[in-house]
Amino acid sequence: MNELISKTACEVVDLLRAREISPVDAVTASADRIEQVEASINAMPTLCIDQALEKARELERQQPFGHSEYRDWLGGLPISIKDLTETAGVRTTFGSPIYKDYIPAKSDILVQKLDYRGTIMMGKSNTPEFGAGASTFNEVFGVTRNPWNTSKSVAGSSGGACASIASGEVWLATGSDLGGSLRTPASFNSVVGLRPSPGRVPRSRTQEPFSCLHVQGPIARNCRDTAPFLDVMSGFHPSDPLSYPASQKPYMDYIDNPVKPRRIGYTPDLGITVIDPEVAQICKDAVQKFQTLNIPVDEGSPNFSGAIESFDVLRGASFVTNLMGEYRNHEHLLKPEVVWNIEKGFKLTADAISQAQLTQAKILQSVIRFFDKFDLLICPCAIVPPFDSEIRFVESLGEHTFDTYYEWLAITFALTLTGCPVLAVPAGFTRDGLPVGLQIIGPPRDEGPILSAGFLLEQLTGTSKQLPIDPNVTHL
């Protein structure tokens, strides 16, 4: 492994700023690593190495070094962009045969922001079709495999992004999250994924500009790397009516001077789902480590009653809004789960949608009352460890059978309904060496405290020090 690959994003940025290495050095190290591991994991099926080298040389020619006056300047750092995010001149498939040859003329707002801050896109990370389903496979590029055990799933929909981080192909990656698409793959790959508050990161490709369900966010090896990446992503943009100005306080301040929570509430299941006993124990053991810092941890949770039914309705309506054209013109090319979800949306009544919104409002008020007593809420990130990569979704756990292809994600999508920021961080590993993660939830629009808590937990568990890893090739 190239020495640069073993360094964190912040360490590499420091070297770039000091000109001890060049952007070409960073891109070359990333390209070499991709060549070493990509065949085993299929995390970044669309590469743009030549364009990356061209941008690296352009950055090197700039005097002064780009926009280096910005506190969040990441000039010369290689990253991956999720294949749900449009990139000018680079194939963007959304994981669907419908768009297998689509090359956008214009980049998403997020890509434009990252480009302006000097990051270098190495390629597009794999995703399930239109991000639907929490296992990363599609008819265009096939299955993405877990670096910790290549017979296992990376989850989804940001599965390729998280695998690209865990394996050291790139230092940072973009992801997106509707029902857990940042958080579940972060757990399955033992990386950090942050679902920001709606509006923190502006969006451009959406048919629902006023919806709070879908967000984009950062993925990194650790919380220290996540903080400046969130700064880069954040800010107001007129195309997104929910967006608002970036925080005046850099998120790195919450890492350099972490804010200790006064009281943490912990729940193994949010009161609405089942959970694998081994996963539950690993998560409980991890969160109890906060007590070594004299931070009280008590059993407690807001009331999430009705969350599954509410999300079920809101998700169905969203699928109709966003994919109606694809359904009517190319239904035969869509995977069965997507077709089912759209058709379910068509059958919704006004009464059902109204009830779903009322339930969401009740959940939010319960969450606000919870944060009057607790600084943070913590719960598991996924109810199971990584499963076989050929499984499309979790159908049952123990004696419980799930009603839909996404119900096993209730522990993440229930939190989506709150609009609160959620940080996914590694918690530990199963007896078989498979990753398990925790979700740290904070009050609305307050990402700083959850980054602090995640950073403190990293110091207690030491999990982030294990990255990047060489893929454990057990099945191809």
Residue 388 covered by a domain: yes
**pLDDT score of 143:** 98
Instruction: Please list the rounded mean pLDDT of every run of 10 residues in the chain (476 residues).
Output: 93 93 97 98 98 95 63 88 97 98 96 94 98 96 98 98 98 98 98 98 88 97 97 94 94 96 98 98 98 97 98 98 97 98 98 98 98 98 97 97 98 98 98 98 97 97 92 80
Residue 471 covered by a domain: no
Rounded to 5°, the CA angle 310-311-314 comes to 90
**Start-to-end C-alpha separation, the chain:** 22
Residue 2 covered by a domain: no
Q: How many angstroms separate the CA atoms of 467 and 169, rounded?
A: 11
Residue 476 covered by a domain: no
Using the Cα atoms of residue 372, residue 374, residue 375 and residue 380 in order, give the sign of their dihedral: negative
Using the Cα atoms of residue 122, residue 53, residue 37 and residue 433 in order, give the sign of their dihedral: negative
**pLDDT score of 67:** 55
**pLDDT score of 475:** 55
Q: Which of 153, 164, 167, 181 is catalytic?
A: 181
CATH code of the domain containing 250: 3.90.1300.10
Q: Which domain holds residue 48?
A: 9-309+337-466
Residue 189 covered by a domain: yes
386 DSSP assignment:
-
Residue 265 covered by a domain: yes
Longest alpha-carbon distance in the chain: 64
Residue 421 covered by a domain: yes
Q: Examine the residue annotation and report whether 347 is marked as an active-site residue of this protein.
A: no
Q: Which of 96, 107, 135, 157 is catalytic?
A: 157
Whether the Cβ atoms of residue 26 and residue 4 lie closer than 8 Å to each other: yes
94 DSSP assignment:
T
Residue 263 covered by a domain: yes
Q: Examine the residue annotation and report whether 305 is marked as an active-site residue of this protein.
A: no
Cα 334 to chain centroid, rounded:
24
pTM for this entry: 0.97
Q: How many angstroms separate the CA atoms of 1 and 470, rounded?
A: 8
Q: Examine the residue annotation and report whether 157 is marked as an active-site residue of this protein.
A: yes
How many independent structural domains does the chain possess? Answer: 1
- Closest to 126 (Cα-Cα) out of 102, 144, 146, 145: 144
Q: Which of 7, 82, 124, 335 is catalytic?
A: 82
**pLDDT score of 73:** 82
